[in-house]
Amino acid sequence: MSRADVIVKGGLNMTEMIKERQEGIFLPFAPREYNEVGEEAIAVHWKEEELIQPKEEFIRQANMTDVGIYERFSEKNYPECFKEYADMLSWDRYWTETLDASNPPFFKWFVGGKLNACYNCVDRHLQKYGNKAAIIFAPEPEDEPYQFITYRELHRRVNEFAALLLDMGVKENDVVTFHLPMVAELPISMLACARIGAIHSEVFGGFSSKAVAERADDAESKVLITMDSYHRSGRVIDHKARADESVNQCKETKIEKVLIWERYPGKYSSSTPLVEGRDYLINDLLENYRGRRVKPLSKPAEDTLFLMYTSGTTARPKGCQHSIGGYLSYVAGTSKHLFDIHPEDTYWCLADIGWITGHSYIVYGPLSIAATSVIFEGTPTYPDAGRSWRIAEDLHVNIFHTSPTMIRMIRRDGPDEPDKYNYHFKLMCTVGEAIEPEVWRWYYDKVGKGEATIIDTWWQTENGGVIGSNLPALRAMKPGSCGIGMPGIYPVIFDEHGNEIEKGSGKAGNICIKRPWPGSFQTIWKDPDRYVETYYSKYSKLGSKDYRDYYYFAGDGAVQAADGSFRILGRIDDVINVAGHRLGAKEIESSSGTNEEVAESAVVAKKDAIKGTVVDLYVVLKPGFEPSKELEAKIRNKVSTDIGPIARPSKVHIVPDMPKTRSGKIMRRVLAAISNKEDVGDVTSLANPEIVEVIKNQVQGQRESVLV
């Protein structure tokens, strides 16, 4: 029997199922009316978008083509449904209880089970995939060759470094802080810690020394792992210098050892001298560990695998504590079913491992299912906007995963570049923020060449893995919408008073999740009260022993269409209240982006003596367009036409660039501070800190706009 003749739930074979999708039968679609809403709900004026079906070729090869998965993961089969994900892993001891919810909202998954994350990502693949590439490292300098690290080579390098860590005094449950850039040594370090039962805490490589010190203090780390230097946008960054600053800035913890990877083994590439008795060159020490093997430590499923600190700039960062068994099972299942990764695929996620996306969908998820995962040192537009497509062509990448910010950046700098290269993606993914329909279509038409299926994903650092998206062979694509809840995830939208907002109503509110899931974080490191207050106090019945009384509060606004799909409107604290109307910033940005001149938009709230708050809109233009008062007026009028006069920006600031993190996210907090003449805070970790002063001089030097 061929794969196309396999019978799926409901009696349809795959050929019939494909035909139904192509005819638009599979997903009912009903346009939604837009209603005026009160202050308790977010106003939504976006029109419904069309459904686009995945190609038959994609559906035929997909890992998940059984529509019955949604029934298997329905609430009546909860929580045992997640056994399907956990069974993808190799267990030293099988669990006795799928979910321990005896102390909500502190949930434990696969209790009684024991396993090792490193074994699941490396050792168990050796017999079948030992000579297959596990990691392909793409250096930023194009004259340097790609580095292909097979599963067998990865096993050797992880074991040798694990043995070194043990000799350095790293013990089970110690927290080891990393400050590493996007190099192959980062996943090697992660897996080595996982192998010996240590907890790793990677701090995004672009963060400042102060940020590293704060996180190392909170984690009580005695060991810092860093690198001497790395390449970024044509520059060689002296990374070791930041390590010295971090050690000196720690207030509560003394870092006793700094372990330094060399970007070029055997050649120390930092101008910062080594501190005797504290600093150690890893590559030199590894000469003494050749061939060493370390048995992977069998760990309880509910033990901690890693800490991932949120990137808060105005409050103490939160250390999200992720488990071993629950987290690893969830990212394995979603990597296979959602990202459709097969062992023969070459998968490239353009995120940074310093964020949760990189942990889950560059390292642990893909490697747990024997994928080939690409790691790129540089930026997608250096030395030119064709760099990403050259890598994709060279490495035969067929699954591409990036953020809407990166897509906008690439579209701005090289809108026609994809046409020049011979690559073909079967699947493209977006992550990190909502994507505007206009940007989605460019991504589909230009980057995907009209061939690739697109999945838009919604999730957060706290969630561990994707919680909102469409399984790509089972649901139609819809520009601007992330889709429905993932199997086993049950989203609900509440207004400010706790009333559920029904789908298709045209009203938006606060999106929440009404059951725990394995990938979710266990707590905030050393601060359980903050965990409860931040994520469960708004809509839950605190004190209840029934886990069904607890709703995870995501902090995002959303609206649900009649077909069940969710459109994420951005952070609730990005909602702007203008004269009693709550407007989603993402909606205004999307309207601005429909102007042909506009490459990027960012909306912030500006205090106003009359209306309380008004909209300030920052815009970056595409190459070939010049700022003008006429263009500012055009953009303002477009927003007014698309959404309504209440959303008309007080001022449109056409700026040369946006302040961005190293991962490409626009720092709206900085723009809001500029608009409101407030302190912009610490901007040293930005990719382009110099632009802050340029924008500040431009905006604060202008006369106040007269509101219309």
Q: Which class for 459: exposed (0-12), middle (13-18), buried (19 or more C-beta within 10 A)?
A: buried
The radius of gyration of the chain's CA atoms, rounded to the nearest angstrom, is: 25
Q: Which two tokens stand for residue 117?
A: 């994350």
Question: What values do phi and psi take at 175, rounded to 5?
Answer: -100, 120
Predicted confidence (pLDDT) per residue in 485-531, tens digit: 999 999 999 998 999 999 999 888 999 999 999 999 999 999 999 99
Distance separating alpha carbons of residues 441 and 447, to the nearest angstrom: 10
pLDDT of residue 626: 93
Q: pTM for the full model?
A: 0.84
Q: Could you count the other beta carbons within 10 Å of the beta carbon of residue 492?
A: 17
pLDDT of residue 182: 96
Q: Which class for 312: exposed (0-12), middle (13-18), buried (19 or more C-beta within 10 A)?
A: exposed
Distance separating alpha carbons of residues 366 and 348, to the nearest angstrom: 10
Q: Which two tokens stand for residue 480?
A: 């601007």
Question: What values do phi and psi take at 620, rounded to 5?
Answer: -115, 135
pLDDT of residue 661: 78
SS3 652: strand
Residues of the chain with pLDDT under 50: 1-12, 14, 17-39, 312-314, 703-708
